[in-house]
Structure 1
Amino acid sequence: MKLKIDVQMSYDLDPSGTVLLTLELAEFPGQRILRSALDIDHARVSRVQGAEGIGQRTWARISYPQMWLGYTAQVEVTRPKVELAPLAHTPMHDLPGETLSFLRPSRFCQSDKFATFVDRRFGDMQGGAKVAAILEWIAEEMIYVPTASNSETTVMETFVDRQGVCRDYVHMVCALCRAAGIPARYASVYGRGVTPPDFHAVAEVWLDGAWRLVDATGMCAPDEMAVIAVGRDACDVAFMETEGPAMLISQSVTVTAA
């Protein structure tokens, strides 16, 4: 599937005018970037490598009190849909080094607090079957509520409230999978069919020797999303970070089939 992406953003910035952006598509397995262009008015731009060597982040130093930017891209997504249940579990001693940090607790995913729950609720399953059961439990227990959380909400609060947005769904997947001994990481993506249209977040789980994209909200299949960046949780892949306050003027994210 080919996807067209169009992002338009406008913010009032603090006097420093320095912004760190994570917007551009990554060179990533299962997707091929056909076109990608980031335009920022009145800005000096430099780029640094993204976390885990995936994608890139953009420093913009803006000599104007407002940031106006547009990002457009076209990407061909070639990754197939994969049934999770038959995928094998990898014993911890056979895991590659790149996965180990995604077994550990992080700022928003206190996975060590869920070991007992995971063992009691999913202890009779392994590998992909366990991940599928975790996703089913999340779908049954959680409600998508746009106003239910904020940038400081942790998975502990989400577990109690059982509601949130894509960010909270991913944190729940990561916490439960890590507690089960399955590496899981946070991925920011552009996804077709996201409602309301916005930057989207999904999880990646390590099964049968590879990372597998899963969307606990059920909005996007793996062949309908394009990866921007990955990290331990939302703090690693925020689409925009500033030194001081930033006030939203307007923002739109559109993802359509090309």
Structure 2
Amino acid sequence: MAISIDLDFAFRMEKVTDVLLQFEAAVIPEQRLLETDTWVTKGEHFARIHAQDDIGERVWIRAEGRYDVSYKAKVEVARLPAEIAQLEHMPPHDLPGEAVQYLFDSRYCPADRFQSFVEAEFGNNDGGARIAAIHDWIAGNFTYEPGSSTATTTGLDSFIERRGICRDYAHVMVMLARASGIPARFVSCFAPDVTPQDFHAVAEVFLTDPTTPGGGAWFLVDATEMARPDEIVKIGVGRDAADVSFMTSFGATEFIEKHVRVSRA
């Protein structure tokens, strides 16, 4: 499946400021960039660095005044959907090093506080079956409500209020998976059926890989049910939204506008 992406955003800095951006589709085996074009305003500094887990790139810019970013891409997604409920839980002592960090609490995902809840609510399920049950519980109990959360809203806040946007759904999914002893990470991405059109966020969980005896792999889970794994274009991954924000400013910055258009090519 080929996905077309057309993105524009702009912001303004009153004085010279460092800003870290992450907005481009990642170059990884499960997705191939067929076309790509990035245009940015010229500033004092522009440099690319590896993003978390070497999935995607971050861009450092240093500039002042109005700064515009335009990005267009066509991406072929080669990821095969998996039957999550049929996958098994990998015991923590068998996990590879890359997955261990995603068992721990993070800024927006206080998983330790939910261990008793997941056992009471999902204790009859294990591994992928539990992930499927958590997905269904979130999808059935939460209301997708733009404007109902802010950049400081945590998974705990969203759990209490039972509403939010994709970022909040992903945080709760990650939080409850980690509380179940299953590594989970936050994924920023593009997807064609996201409404309203914008950057999207989903969770990714580490379970046994049926194609590799004794091995494990990451599997995408979207509790908003707006994005299919075989149509998701990954931008980056992290412990939670703090690691993969499309823009992090290290000084006063005024965000001006953003337009995101994602479609099936």
TM-score of the superposed pair, with normalisation by structure 2: 0.94
- In 2: Cα distance, 1:6 partner to 1:191 partner: 12
1:228-239 equivalence runs, <5 A: 228-239=235-246
The aligned residue for residue 175 of structure 1 is 175
Q: Does 1:47 align with 2:48?
A: yes
- In 1: Cα distance, 2:48 partner to 2:7 partner: 19
Cα pair 1:188 1:201 within 8 Å, conserved: yes
The aligned residue for residue 17 of structure 1 is 17
Q: Give the C-alpha shift of residue 147 in structure 1.
A: 1.2
**Could you list the per-position Cα deviations for residues 204-234 of structure 1 after superposition, in whole angstroms to 9, with x for gaps in the alignment?**
0011111001111000101111001000000
Q: Which amino acid aligns with 2:62?
A: R
Q: Give the C-alpha shift of residue 6 in structure 1.
A: 0.8
State the number of aligned residues.
257
Q: Give the C-alpha shift of residue 17 in structure 1.
A: 3.5
**Could you list the per-position Cα deviations for residues 114-164 of structure 1 after superposition, in whole angstroms to 9, with x for gaps in the alignment?**
000001111111111000000000011110011111000111111110000
Cα pair 1:16 1:243 within 8 Å, conserved: no
Q: Does 1:120 align with 2:120?
A: yes
- The residue matched to 2:117 in structure 1 has which SS? helix
1:87-236 equivalence runs, <5 A: 87-208=87-208, 209-236=216-243
- Write out the 4+ residue segments of structure 1 that deviate beyond 3 Å after TM superposition: none
- In 2: Cα distance, 1:71 partner to 1:101 partner: 32
**Could you list the per-position Cα deviations for residues 83-106 of structure 1 after superposition, in whole angstroms to 9, with x for gaps in the alignment?**
111111111111111100100000
Q: Which amino acid aligns with 1:53?
A: D
The aligned residue for residue 212 of structure 2 is none
Q: Give the C-alpha shift of residue 245 in structure 1.
A: 2.4
TM-score of the superposed pair, with normalisation by structure 1: 0.97
The aligned residue for residue 38 of structure 2 is 38
- In 1: Cα distance, 2:104 partner to 2:145 partner: 28
- In 2: Cα distance, 1:180 partner to 1:29 partner: 29
Provide the alpha-carbon RMSD of the alignment: 1.0
- In 2: Cα distance, 1:7 partner to 1:245 partner: 23
Aligned-pair identity (%): 45
- In 1: Cα distance, 2:81 partner to 2:136 partner: 17
Q: Give the C-alpha shift of residue 35 in structure 1.
A: 2.0
Q: Give the C-alpha shift of residue 37 in structure 1.
A: 2.1
- In 1: Cα distance, 2:41 partner to 2:54 partner: 28
Q: Which amino acid aligns with 1:135?
A: H
Q: Which runs of 5+ in 1 are unaligned?
A: none
The aligned residue for residue 58 of structure 2 is 57
Bigger mean CA offset, 222-231 vs 27-36: 27-36
- The residue matched to 1:119 in structure 2 has which SS? helix
Q: Give the C-alpha shift of residue 188 in structure 1.
A: 0.3
